[in-house]
Copies of this chain bind each other. A is one copy, B any other.
Amino acid sequence: MAEHSHDHAASGHDHAHDHGHDHDHTHDHGSAPAKLTRNQTLVFGALSRAGGPLTAYTILDQLRDDGFRAPLQVYRALEKLVEFGMVHRLESLNAFVACSHPQCVDHETMAFAICESCGSVSEFADAAITRQLKGWAGDNGFALAKTTIELRGTCRTCQAAV
């Protein structure tokens, strides 16, 4: 799987955690709570450090020393983090990535470009696409809950490195 890449992707956001062990960041992402639980903090820390997508089992392995023993500990934390808008699930990768969108206003309609060579992920929003999809939904009486937009291909860096 793709647990590589310290590439770009997840940088530039202000989550700026110091995952020592303290949990008092104060952000405002979607319905994010004032305070994360210990497990949520650890999982989010792992994803932030990685700067790219990780599978649940990779996260589990990275958190063994912090006392993690079972997949469910990771999946439960991920579920909440996604709910809070701090993490995205990448369906085509069965992996998770920390949100890197500056203000991630429309957390349910972000798009992701995934490099199949280096595994890096770029998160972006495109108003025209969102508008178009909502338009289709409206025209077809479809009550849209969430959209998945994932591009697969080769990033600029990897193409240059031929």
Contacts and interface: CB of A to CB of B under 8 A. Distances in A.
Interface of A: 91-92, 111, 113, 115-116, 122, 124, 126, 128-129, 132-133, 136-137, 140-156, 159
A152 B141 contact: no
B129 A142 contact: no
A114 to B, nearest CB: 9
State the copy count for this chain: 2
A16 B24 CA distance: 57
B148 A144 contact: no
Given A126-B136, A141-B159, A145-B154, 20 more contacts: A92-B148, A113-B137, A116-B145, A126-B133, A137-B151, A137-B153, A142-B154, A142-B155, A143-B153, A143-B154, A143-B159, A144-B151, A144-B152, A145-B153, A146-B152, A146-B153, A147-B149, A147-B152, A148-B148, A148-B152
20 contacts: A91-B91, A91-B92, A111-B133, A111-B136, A113-B136, A113-B137, A116-B145, A126-B132, A129-B129, A132-B132, A137-B151, A137-B153, A140-B156, A142-B153, A142-B155, A143-B153, A144-B153, A147-B150, A148-B149, A148-B150
Nearest to A109: B151
A116 to B, nearest CB: 7
B146 A149 contact: no
Nearest to A159: B143
A116 B143 CA distance: 10
A14 to B, nearest CB: 16
A128 B133 CA distance: 10
